[in-house]
Chain A
Amino acid sequence: MNMSSLVRSGGANIMMPFILVYGFYIVVHGHLTPPGGGFQGGAVIATAVVLLMVAYSRAEVRASVSKNVLKNSETLGLLLFIGTALLALTAGLAFFGNWLLDAGTLFGTPVAFGINPPGDINTGGIIPVLNIAVGIEVLGAMGILLLAMLGGMKGDAE
């Protein structure tokens, strides 16, 4: 291993957890903070895949990022999204009805009408669930896009 690849991989190893934590923060706090939501957080997480491709050679990227895992995560996100919407029908609500709102369970703390002090993550009903589903889906889609672009090259990505 020469010196420049050591610097690249070391810097990527230091940066990677911060990018991942920031992306997951944006996804999970999507219903509380203005710069939030599944799409933006998924795009931020996908830039971690970009960093991996910049820092490591093509064989190492192929060994650590699997195309099947990304494909399955995209399918899982879409199924979670539409399944959450369909479960509202069993609760007697309309399609996409908020069946978790004020239920006291997951994301179900009741919130008084009007302006509340922000910061309680355990609110919002199905909206955080839909945000997490969109985040998983966008992460898979962006990652598989980048892997497909990298797979079209004949030489190494060095």
Chain B
Amino acid sequence: MIELIVHILLLAGLVISACMVWYMDDLISAAIAFGAFSFLLSLEFLMLQAPDVAIAEAGIGAGLTTAIFVIAIRGTDKDGGCV
């Protein structure tokens, strides 16, 4: 029962954070929302008893991809040119 509640909370958080990525106007905020999406997805993988995939998702998705996005956003302006 408690497992079902955690599943429902995690999936609701996944849907909300995915909608936030689309909704945000600021690119940095969208990148941070994508990092939160990856973190919730790794928790969901852990709940589904795949800790191998969960730690890869936490390392790659929440750590490295967010950092690469933030570095790329800081290196460009709104029209896509170099700063």
Contacts and interface: CB of A to CB of B under 8 A. Distances in A.
B54 interface: yes
Interface string B23-60: 00000000000000000000000000001101110011
Contact of A54 (B55, B59, B60, B67): B67
Contact of A150 (B55, B71, B82): B71
Contacts of A145: 64, 68
Chain A interface size, as a band, is 20 to 34
A37 B52 contact: yes
Interface centre among B51, B52, B83 (most CB of A within 10 A): B52
A43 B59 contact: yes
Contact of B55 (A26, A46, A154): A26
- Interface of chain B: mostly helix, strand, loop or mixed: helix
B52 to A, nearest CB: 6
Interface string B57-83: 001100110011001101100000011
Interface residues of B, number: 17
B72 A149 contact: yes
Interface of A: 26, 34-37, 39-40, 43-44, 46-47, 50, 53-54, 142, 145-146, 149-150, 152-155, 157
Interface of B: 51-52, 54-56, 59-60, 63-64, 67-68, 71-72, 74-75, 82-83
7 contacts: A43-B59, A50-B63, A50-B64, A145-B68, A149-B68, A150-B71, A153-B75
Given A46-B59, A46-B64, A53-B71, 13 more contacts: A35-B54, A40-B52, A43-B56, A43-B63, A44-B59, A44-B63, A146-B67, A146-B71, A149-B71, A153-B71, A153-B74, A154-B83, A157-B74
